[in-house]
Chain A
């Protein structure tokens, strides 16, 4: 696993998230579910709790965006770049954007939102890309089945290096 330079991390254990813009390619309820499950994948390994808010500024602002969307990292249309997220911090820190030009899905007919969201939230929590092909934080897309998903070892090591293990 790899961390970002300076090893940015959240200095609190309860983080808020808000889905501010949805995609037309999926039902809003499915987006909510995929996001919740993706955050929980990380929350099961470290002492972090995620609380959803529906208004105002959250720590992790989540949105589906098209092309140039004002953060200097424009999306490129179908395929190519699927999403990106910013390392922990104020303002854009933690924010997670998905390319609206992709076909998002809960299954395998398109890009699985849980898979991509779980990867991006790794960045939002402070993990950079891993060189381990079995890691969730590997840069290229590889479908992960959302139900019964467990974080690969490399990702557990990485996130626990930042936040410590969750006490059972």
Chain B
């Protein structure tokens, strides 16, 4: 099988940071997390937010930073969060 391109690890790391900043900005409810969410911080919280983004934009809900999700994240947009504050 062909090996992945050499740039893949760096690209995915960049995507991860880009996505994290995006989700913190547009998919974080201010005023504290719900109790259930407190225990599930970190990676699972990120997955939850990715799923929320994918559902909002009508993408396939995978919880993964696939190409269509990254395409949305890279689009210029309004600064108002998509989830209600």
- Taking beta carbons and an 8 Å cutoff, which residues of A are in contact with B? 2, 4-5, 73, 75, 79-85, 111, 116, 119-120, 123, 128-129, 131, 133, 139-141
| Interface residue count on the B side (C-beta < 8 Å) | 15
Cα-based distance from A139 to B27 in the complex (angstroms): 12
Among candidates B57, B76, B78, B84, residue contacting A79 with C-beta atoms closer than 8 Å: B76
Contact (Cβ within 8 A) B84 A140: no
Among candidates B26, B56, B76, residue contacting A131 with C-beta atoms closer than 8 Å: B56
**Residue on B nearest A131 in the bound complex, by CB:** B56
Chain A nearest CB from B28 CB (Å) reads: 13
The B interface is mostly helix, strand or loop, or mixed, namely loop
Query: Given known contacts A131-B56, A133-B58, is B80 in contact with A82 (CB within 8 Å)?
Result: no
**Residue on A nearest B25 in the bound complex, by CB:** A81
B78: A residues at CB distance < 8 A: 81-84, 116, 119-120, 123, 129, 139-141
- Taking beta carbons and an 8 Å cutoff, which residues of B are in contact with A? 25-26, 56-58, 72, 75-80, 82, 84-85
Other A-B pairs, 14, CB within 8 Å; known A5-B85, A81-B77, A131-B57: A2-B84, A5-B84, A79-B76, A80-B76, A81-B25, A81-B78, A82-B77, A82-B78, A82-B79, A83-B79, A84-B78, A111-B76, A140-B76, A141-B75
